[in-house]
Amino acid sequence: MPLGSDHVSHRRPYPQQLRPVTIERGWSKHAEGSVLISFGDTKVFCTASVTEGVPRWRKGSGEGWVTGEYSMLPRATNTRGDRESVRGKIGGRTHEISRLIGRSLRAVIDYKALGENTIVLDCDVLQADGGTRTAAITGAYVALADAITWAQSKKLVKAGRKPLTGTVSAVSVGIVDGTPLLDLCYEEDVRAETDMNVVCTGDGRFVEVQGTAEAEPFDRDELNKLLDLASGGCAELADLQRKALEGTL
Amino acid sequence: MPLGSDHVSHRRPYPQQLRPVTIERGWSKHAEGSVLISFGDTKVFCTASVTEGVPRWRKGSGEGWVTGEYSMLPRATNTRGDRESVRGKIGGRTHEISRLIGRSLRAVIDYKALGENTIVLDCDVLQADGGTRTAAITGAYVALADAITWAQSKKLVKAGRKPLTGTVSAVSVGIVDGTPLLDLCYEEDVRAETDMNVVCTGDGRFVEVQGTAEAEPFDRDELNKLLDLASGGCAELADLQRKALEGTL
Amino acid sequence: MPLGSDHVSHRRPYPQQLRPVTIERGWSKHAEGSVLISFGDTKVFCTASVTEGVPRWRKGSGEGWVTGEYSMLPRATNTRGDRESVRGKIGGRTHEISRLIGRSLRAVIDYKALGENTIVLDCDVLQADGGTRTAAITGAYVALADAITWAQSKKLVKAGRKPLTGTVSAVSVGIVDGTPLLDLCYEEDVRAETDMNVVCTGDGRFVEVQGTAEAEPFDRDELNKLLDLASGGCAELADLQRKALEGTL
Amino acid sequence: MPLGSDHVSHRRPYPQQLRPVTIERGWSKHAEGSVLISFGDTKVFCTASVTEGVPRWRKGSGEGWVTGEYSMLPRATNTRGDRESVRGKIGGRTHEISRLIGRSLRAVIDYKALGENTIVLDCDVLQADGGTRTAAITGAYVALADAITWAQSKKLVKAGRKPLTGTVSAVSVGIVDGTPLLDLCYEEDVRAETDMNVVCTGDGRFVEVQGTAEAEPFDRDELNKLLDLASGGCAELADLQRKALEGTL
Amino acid sequence: MPLGSDHVSHRRPYPQQLRPVTIERGWSKHAEGSVLISFGDTKVFCTASVTEGVPRWRKGSGEGWVTGEYSMLPRATNTRGDRESVRGKIGGRTHEISRLIGRSLRAVIDYKALGENTIVLDCDVLQADGGTRTAAITGAYVALADAITWAQSKKLVKAGRKPLTGTVSAVSVGIVDGTPLLDLCYEEDVRAETDMNVVCTGDGRFVEVQGTAEAEPFDRDELNKLLDLASGGCAELADLQRKALEGTL
Amino acid sequence: MPLGSDHVSHRRPYPQQLRPVTIERGWSKHAEGSVLISFGDTKVFCTASVTEGVPRWRKGSGEGWVTGEYSMLPRATNTRGDRESVRGKIGGRTHEISRLIGRSLRAVIDYKALGENTIVLDCDVLQADGGTRTAAITGAYVALADAITWAQSKKLVKAGRKPLTGTVSAVSVGIVDGTPLLDLCYEEDVRAETDMNVVCTGDGRFVEVQGTAEAEPFDRDELNKLLDLASGGCAELADLQRKALEGTL
């Protein structure tokens, strides 16, 4: 039985492939939508919680709201981190990713069709090995789709309204030792000169492009290569999401 | 595919039985010990993190330290709760259970044998249906045992020293409609007149006895019946822990 | 004039006796009920504050609410502790005891008879020498009884309604050097192998039983001896409470 | 037996007199100095805690440090206030008074003579009826004097050194309905047009003068009358402090 | 081009003069009133924000409210200080000054005439060289006057009502090397034996007098000299405020 | 004199131009580098604070550290916002921008050449009208360059070492009503379908590319147009930075 922290990430034979992806729906008996998604050794538990009503600033608008919260369990990483609840404040990285998740999912929501309902997407990282935010977005989409189906079945969403205007998936790309790489694991991410997270809709358009030079600034040519790679990865993930929702994954 | 919050807890045919228990080891590639434990629909993810060194107040003592942290994911329950990290403070219930987990596990630790190492037991509730604290203690023991085996293999613990002096397991008991019940699910817990959490060592002695009158004060006779029931449940759990560690569960 | 921190707790001639207990009512001109209680050198100032109305989640129920808050003055102990207000968060021990006080007093409250009124029991430890939580509960009961009398006189409680269904008192017990001991002072508490706090109603039933193995797990026989001792102590305290309320203490 | 919140402050026959003052020393068995002081119905419990060493920024200077912390028990006032520990932050008024207490006491300290020791003066208001900050300073001085005597007896202060360079007392004054008044109770304070807190040394000089126009700005003549009244009150309090320390109060 | 932290405060030829004062109005395009004020090298940016409505405790009274908030930019001083937002709490000094600003401005407000409107005075110190609180009050008055003119023009204040009952300005005074000094810069403030902040109305009466003995207690004679000096300084500032509001400064 | 909140942003004649940019150096007498930068009506005050030493995790590495902190004054915007220090926590947007500033400036730092020194870039928004984060980065670069010159003159940086490896500037771009626009003001930003912040080095490479679909996902062609526009804007800003540092702006 494999135990402890001596585990090694399995390197992929073809560096421009996605790591193995799994998407398990119905992982919570309480949540209206729930998914355990894995990108390689990264595992994120995504739940979608539907409540009637909207935040105060949106009341009476007839429009719904969708938001995200991201967190890591303290031992999701190789070295245990302090809980943010114990430190009494949320760190900048957590804030940044929570906001990204919310924005990404809202990109495919028709607020009017959703009506005055709120959906919260909680993405808790059980095990981290790079790409936790992109796995979170990709999994949260599936949980969101299930939650909306539930809301329709409960008549919280009016008959004939389609709150989802498309699908959304996300992937990380980076340049490691001069080679563009798709879906970086932690070790690759640490060594990357440039690191980019890309969120796409199912029709291939961009929702978010966040590229960061880690070691060296990048030029337009490198940027283009990364965008090509990310677009392909997102399309592949969109296909897996579709299969998961059809029950054919 | 079962979806959403309409799920119903399965009532047990014999009310004085444990709910089905599962204990899966090695659920994290990073942690030195890790367990996914379930008591019925309650699922708790327990990790044991070993670090060299001890808190400041214990430095130079030659003795180790073991502590626990408990938390619920926001949608572990039927209604989503706010994250304590977002509220900026830890609630009383969380504090109380974290302290209970730490005390319970320390009851079977020989600090001298552990040496100046610290083990943190993180118990995160993925899904709650009553008995989360008792499942947490029971699972944390298994994670702790694996972590100590790891520490011995890494020579963090000196050869021949046995930091574990025994085993520990926990169960809840309560009186519902006048009937003593073992291992209460959420619905039973809500209806219980008296609620008790009992932590026992493998040799049948008590580490913690916490009985609370919810509706009516209880008399000595009722207390005795509950203690009998709990002792039996803890013994059964100790057996399951042993099998899990042997790999025969 | 005795000064400073060289003071020594007076050991009791008979270890299974309560320490000297004093209960002074009317210690605050503002509070609806107030008591300065001492168990030996432990002194706790208990006030009961009555307000019309209940917390939001209880509004419209026709039922009242009772809650407790516990705190230590920074120099209540031998070494000055930081104020929790300065640290910006409440510690786990404080949370745990506040919750215990609230639960214990609610055990003798008929919410319907109380009507939509809230009573907060503030228990502030002026000097600590073991048993602060049990002194707090015992004193808070007396303050609560006076506050209810006040509420009745002000017609906040309807004529003929009796919000108090009984009396409640609490005591600590422990095993020190193999001997069961009643109402432990700080030094005894530190040395105890097992430590138990017991809350009883005036008719001898249990409201809370919290036993903790400090050094060694305890067996059923030891548990029984401690429960016997605690029951006797609580009965004695119930008698003192009655006398204090009659003005004959 | 007087109960509850119907109590009325006793008005003084001569408005330019102090309210009855009591100073009880030795009120804590733990603290190096402790005093229960009352100005009329205002009761403040003052403890002085001595520790070896000084805050980091003062280390190696050979000089000591004295600081103050002020707090109100939640039901010290007519209406219960939330605890600052529960709210998670200290209010502006508390901060302001804590700083005033520290500055006032430091005015009579010779840091060199004190050596690298720290004395914290905790002033906790048990019952408030106006003048809590001035009672706190006046009582804290007595606790401080006792703590320094203790420190000398323990040789924490070198033989022959006198850390106290004088005495300090404080009183409030105000103009109510055009009449200057000494030592205002709460009702008078609320009605005052001008309110002033004055801290004096035993030789009649000023340590702090804090005058605030509540309703109407005040002119130089009114200011002079208030200063005269305050000087007299402080001198009277200095006399009571001296008697308390001699044991002749 | 002068750069960096080697800059020296220019000493004034006549120590009983104000430092050069500048008052620039209209420094913000958003705020209803805004001023950049400088007292020597101290620069404070004051904005007045008007909102309809009042805090909950004042609703329905027909009366308005005015409050102040003070803060220093982290590098306003010679050594960078941590941001209070990063530390998660407001320090005592900030609290104290914010309260002083609010009280000082409220002294010249007729709440009835203001009606149920709230004005918040934000005073942010861009560069500190002593006297930041007195510059803040003096500048905030000008911003407040502009904000009230704006509120009148927008009919938030009823025609014919005059919410301002006078003018208010503030200055610091101190005794340095035995000499009374007006408007102390940082270096003088550090060396002062006594330090006093005085807030006056335009007709020469006092709103606040806050004198603190830094090194030595001060006597009545010294107090009188400081008050004389401060009264003169405040009158001079009142004149500058008037000119600024007339546009003739 | 223009007063109050009725001010209107001046629309630019050519939408693909930068708004008027001003860069004033030496705006603080205390900071080692300081700049008041404006992009149209957006004004940001940037200071660079140099301290010897590095955070604990970097000690002994021989390498320096550069970090950023961003904040808005409460009335920088049209509606007053609560201070984060008063709320007791930093919001997600503030965190996100602070992190972006730090990363952007670190992209042109040679840590080894900087040696074990830390530079903190504080960017406080005095007035906001869109593009506050890009103005902050562009201004912070100039403050950083001045701070490094200062550190070299003080021999904190070793002779011959060049901690700056290039220059960095930033600009926002967006698509408004189908038209790509450079350097958006607040009104344009609110109406933008897509919003992108781009950080470039002086040699035209990218440090950060952050594109967000606000209303509609964007395609590759739109992305390319925005990148072209941003590259031009950053080059123009780099030229202005150079002139400011030469004193020829």
Q: Across the interface, do C92 and B103 touch by the CB < 8 Å criterion?
A: no
Q: How many CB pairs under 8 A join D and E?
A: 95
Q: Across the interface, do B73 and A47 touch by the CB < 8 Å criterion?
A: yes
- Comparing CB atoms, the residue among D205, D208, D218 nearest residue E206 is D218
Q: How far E48 CA sits from the closest chain F CA (Å)?
A: 8
Contacts of D92 in chain C (CB under 8 A): none
HEC secondary structure over chain C? CCCHHHCCCCCCCCCCCCCCEEEEECCCCCCCEEEEEEECCEEEEEEEEEEECCCHHHCCCCCCEEEEEEEECCCCCCCCCCCHHHHCCCCHHHHHHHHHHHHHHHCCECHHHHCCEEEEEEEEEEECCCCHHHHHHHHHHHHHHHHHHHHHHCCCCCCCCCCECCCEEEEEEEEECCEEEECCCHHHHHHCCEEEEEEEECCCCEEEEEEEECCCCECHHHHHHHHHHHHHHHHHHHHHHHHHHHCCC
For chain B, report the end-to-end CA distance as a whole number of angstroms: 28
Interface test with B, best of C93, C94, C95 (most B CBs within 10 A): C95
Whether C4 shows a pLDDT value over 50: the answer reads no
Q: How many CB atoms lie within 10 A of CB F137?
A: 32
Query: CA-nearest residue of chain F to A219?
Result: F205
d(CA F249, CA F243) in angstroms, rounded, equals 5
Residue C185 near residue C131 (C-beta atoms within 8 A): yes
| pLDDT score for A221 | 95
Query: Which amino acid is present at E230?
Result: A
Whether B65 shows a pLDDT value over 80: the answer reads yes
> What percent of chain D has a predicted confidence (pLDDT) above 90?
87
| pLDDT score for F14 | 66
Give me the residues of E, 65-84, that contact F with CB < 8 A.
Answer: 69, 71, 73-78, 80, 83-84
Per-residue pLDDT of C15-58, as tens digits, reads: 689 999 999 999 999 999 999 999 999 999 999 999 999 999 99
- Comparing CB atoms, the residue among D26, D75, D129 nearest residue C3 is D26
| pLDDT score for C249 | 82
Question: A229-243, C226-240, F6-20, F57-71: which has the minimum mean pLDDT?
Answer: F6-20
Tokens 């000494």, residue located: D182
- All residues at 6 or more sequence positions from F85 whose CB lies less than 8 Å from its CB, including other chains: E71, E83, E84, E85, E89, E90, E94
| pLDDT score for E216 | 87
Residue of B126 and A14 predicted with greater confidence: B126
Residue E159 near residue F13 (C-beta atoms within 8 A): no
Per-residue pLDDT of D103-122, as tens digits, reads: 999 999 999 999 999 999 99
Is E220 an interface residue toward D (CB < 8 Å)? yes
Contacts of C95 in chain B (CB under 8 A): 91-92, 95-96
A19 is in an annotated binding site: no
Give me the residues of F, 4-33, that contact E with CB < 8 A.
Answer: 4-5, 7, 25-26, 28-33
Query: CA-nearest residue of chain E to F247?
Result: E1
A161 is in an annotated binding site: no
d(CA B21, CA B24) in angstroms, rounded, equals 10
Which tokens sit at F16?
């693909």
Per-residue pLDDT of A181-195, as tens digits, reads: 999 999 999 999 999
Confidence of residue D7 (pLDDT cuts 50, 70, 90): very low
Domains of chain D, first to last: 21-245 (3.30.230.70)
* Mean pLDDT for all residues in chain F: 93
Separation in Å, CA E102 to CA D98, D193, E55, E174:
20, 17, 15, 23
The tens place of each residue's pLDDT in chain E, 249 residues long, gives: 233 334 444 446 566 899 999 999 999 999 999 999 999 999 999 999 999 999 999 999 999 999 999 999 999 999 999 999 988 888 889 999 999 999 999 999 999 999 999 999 999 999 999 999 999 999 999 999 999 999 999 999 999 999 999 999 999 999 998 899 999 999 999 999 999 999 999 999 999 999 999 878 999 999 999 999 999 999 999 999 999 999 988
Confidence of residue B147 (pLDDT cuts 50, 70, 90): very high
Q: How many CB atoms lie within 10 A of CB E148?
A: 26
Q: Across the interface, do F200 and A212 touch by the CB < 8 Å criterion?
A: no
Average pLDDT over residues C106-117: 97
Biggest CA–CA distance in chain F, Å, is: 56
Surface-to-core class of residue B56, CB atoms within 10 Å of its CB (0-12 exposed, 13-18 middle, 19+ buried): exposed
Count the alpha carbons within 13 Å of A95 in the hemisphere toward its beta carbon. Answer: 16
Residue E184 near residue E191 (C-beta atoms within 8 A): no
The length of chain F, given as a count of residues: 249
Confidence of residue A8 (pLDDT cuts 50, 70, 90): very low
| pLDDT score for D89 | 87
Query: CA-nearest residue of chain E to D99?
Result: E92
Contacts of F205 in chain A (CB under 8 A): 213, 217-219
Is C207 an interface residue toward B (CB < 8 Å)? yes
| pLDDT score for E13 | 59
Per-residue pLDDT of C77-87, as tens digits, reads: 999 999 999 88
- Comparing CB atoms, the residue among C98, C206, C227 nearest residue B217 is C206
Q: Across the interface, do B127 and A25 touch by the CB < 8 Å criterion?
A: no
Whether B87 shows a pLDDT value over 50: the answer reads yes
Contacts of B247 in chain A (CB under 8 A): 1
Tokens 């001997």, residue located: C179
Is F173 an interface residue toward A (CB < 8 Å)? no
| pLDDT score for A6 | 41
Is E197 an interface residue toward D (CB < 8 Å)? no
Confidence of residue C2 (pLDDT cuts 50, 70, 90): very low
Contacts of D216 in chain E (CB under 8 A): 205
Separation in Å, CA D190 to CA D131, D194, D214:
12, 10, 9
Q: How many CB atoms lie within 10 A of CB E34?
A: 28
Confidence of residue F2 (pLDDT cuts 50, 70, 90): very low
Is A59 an interface residue toward B (CB < 8 Å)? no
- Identify the CA nearest to A200 among candidates B242, F218, C160, F39: F218
Query: CA-nearest residue of chain D to C127?
Result: D28
Confidence of residue D9 (pLDDT cuts 50, 70, 90): very low
Is D98 an interface residue toward C (CB < 8 Å)? no
| pLDDT score for E12 | 60
| pLDDT score for C14 | 66
Separation in Å, CA A174 to CA A180, F201, F238:
6, 19, 27
Q: How far E199 CA sits from the closest chain F CA (Å)?
A: 25
Is D127 an interface residue toward C (CB < 8 Å)? yes
Which tokens sit at F233?
């804007």
Is F157 an interface residue toward E (CB < 8 Å)? no
The length of chain E, given as a count of residues: 249
Long-range CB pairs of F13-18, under 8 A, 24+ apart, other chains included:
F15/F176, F15/F179, F15/F181, F15/F182, F16/F180, F16/F181, F16/F182, F16/F229, F17/F182, F17/F183, F18/F171, F18/F182, F18/F183, F18/F233, F18/F236, F18/F237
Contacts of B112 in chain C (CB under 8 A): none
Per-residue pLDDT of F71-122, as tens digits, reads: 999 999 999 999 999 888 888 899 999 999 999 999 999 999 999 999 999 9
Contacts of B196 in chain C (CB under 8 A): 209
Query: CA-nearest residue of chain C to D78?
Result: C30
Helix boundaries (H) for chain A: 84-87, 92-106, 111-114, 132-153, 186-191, 220-246
In three-state secondary structure terms, B42 is strand
Q: How far E22 CA sits from the closest chain F CA (Å)?
A: 16
d(CA C115, CA C61) in angstroms, rounded, equals 9
State the Cα angle at F241 between F113 and F124, rounded to 5°. 85
- Comparing CB atoms, the residue among D89, D103, D217 nearest residue E207 is D217
Per-residue pLDDT of C12-22, as tens digits, reads: 656 689 999 99
* Mean pLDDT for all residues in chain D: 92
DSSP state of E82: P
Interface test with B, best of A8, A24, A27, A80 (most B CBs within 10 A): A80
Interface test with D, best of C1, C23, C24, C30 (most D CBs within 10 A): C30
Whether D47 shows a pLDDT value over 70: the answer reads yes
Interface test with F, best of A101, A168, A212 (most F CBs within 10 A): A212
State the Cα angle at A75 between A147 and B5, rounded to 5°. 20
Contacts of C107 in chain B (CB under 8 A): 213, 217
DSSP bridge pairs for F209: A211, F198
Pairing of strands F42-52, D33-39: unpaired
Per-residue pLDDT of A131-149, as tens digits, reads: 999 999 999 999 999 999 9
| pLDDT score for B6 | 41
Q: How many CB pairs under 8 A join A and B?
A: 134
Whether C230 shows a pLDDT value over 50: the answer reads yes
| pLDDT score for C88 | 86
Whether C99 shows a pLDDT value over 80: the answer reads yes
- All residues at 6 or more sequence positions from A154 whose CB lies less than 8 Å from its CB, including other chains: none
Surface-to-core class of residue C1, CB atoms within 10 Å of its CB (0-12 exposed, 13-18 middle, 19+ buried): exposed
d(CA B58, CA E126) in angstroms, rounded, equals 46
Average pLDDT over residues F129-137: 98
Query: CA-nearest residue of chain F to A111?
Result: F215
Q: Across the interface, do C209 and B204 touch by the CB < 8 Å criterion?
A: no
Per-residue pLDDT of C155-169, as tens digits, reads: 999 999 999 999 999
The length of chain C, given as a count of residues: 249
DSSP state of E242: H
- Identify the CA nearest to B234 among candidates B208, B200, B210: B200
Separation in Å, CA E228 to CA D173, D198, E16, E196, E222:
22, 19, 11, 12, 10
Tokens 């009183």, residue located: D171
Q: How far B160 CA sits from the closest chain A CA (Å)?
A: 21
DSSP bridge pairs for D181: D174
Contacts of C74 in chain D (CB under 8 A): 47, 49, 69, 120, 122
Whether F236 shows a pLDDT value over 90: the answer reads yes
Q: How many CB pairs under 8 A join C and D?
A: 134
Per-residue pLDDT of D132-167, as tens digits, reads: 999 999 999 999 999 999 999 999 999 999 999 999
Contacts of F112 in chain A (CB under 8 A): none
| pLDDT score for F16 | 82
| pLDDT score for C216 | 87
